[in-house]
Amino acid sequence: MDIKNIKMIAMDLDGTLTQHKEKLSSEHKEILDKLSKKYKLIMVGAGQVNRIFNQMNQYPIDIIGNYGLQYAVYDGGSMRIIRDLTFETDKEYTENKVTSFREKYGYTEYRGDNVEYHVSGCITFPILGTKAVQEDKLSFDPDRKKRRAIYNEVCDAFTDYNVFVGGSSSFDMAPKPYNKYYALDLYCKEKGISHSEVVYIGDDYGIGGNDECVYKSDFNYLTIDDYRDFPRVVKALLEEV
Work out the pLDDT band at 241, boundaries 50, 70, 90. low
Let me know whether 44 and 160 are in one domain.
no
Question: For residue 76, what pLDDT is reported?
Answer: 87
Work out the pLDDT band at 63, boundaries 50, 70, 90. very high
Question: For residue 38, what pLDDT is reported?
Answer: 94
Let me know whether 154 and 193 are in one domain.
no
Let me know whether 111 and 166 are in one domain.
yes
Q: Which residue range(s) make up the domain with 107?
A: 91-175
State whether residue 167 is helix, strand or coil.
coil
Provide CB contacts within 8 A for 172, sequence distance 6+.
46, 122, 123, 124, 125, 163, 164, 166, 210
Let me know whether 74 and 96 are in one domain.
no
CA 223 to CA 203: how far, in whole Å? Answer: 6
Let me know whether 21 and 126 are in one domain.
no
Q: What would the 3-class secondary structure string for 152-219 be?
A: HHHHHHCCCEEEEEECCCEEEEEECCCCHHHHHHHHHHHHCCCHHHEEEEECCCCCCCCCHHHHCCCC
Let me know whether 170 and 217 are in one domain.
no
Let me know whether 157 and 42 are in one domain.
no
CA 9 to CA 127: how far, in whole Å? Answer: 34
Let me know whether 67 and 129 are in one domain.
no
The predicted model scores a pTM of 0.93
Question: For residue 180, what pLDDT is reported?
Answer: 98
CATH of the domain at 28: 3.40.50.1000
CATH of the domain at 110: 3.30.1240.20
Let me know whether 100 and 171 are in one domain.
yes
**Number of domains the chain is built from:** 2
Question: For residue 177, what pLDDT is reported?
Answer: 98
Q: Looking at the predicted structure, is the pLDDT value of residue 197 above 70?
A: yes
Give the domain-ending residue among 131, 156, 175. Answer: 175
pLDDT digits 0-9 by tens, 198-230? 999 999 999 999 999 999 999 999 999 999 999
How crowded is residue 191: how many other Cβ atoms within 10 Å of its Cβ? 13
Question: For residue 6, what pLDDT is reported?
Answer: 97
Class of residue 232 by CB neighbours under 10 A (exposed 0-12, middle 13-18, buried 19+): exposed
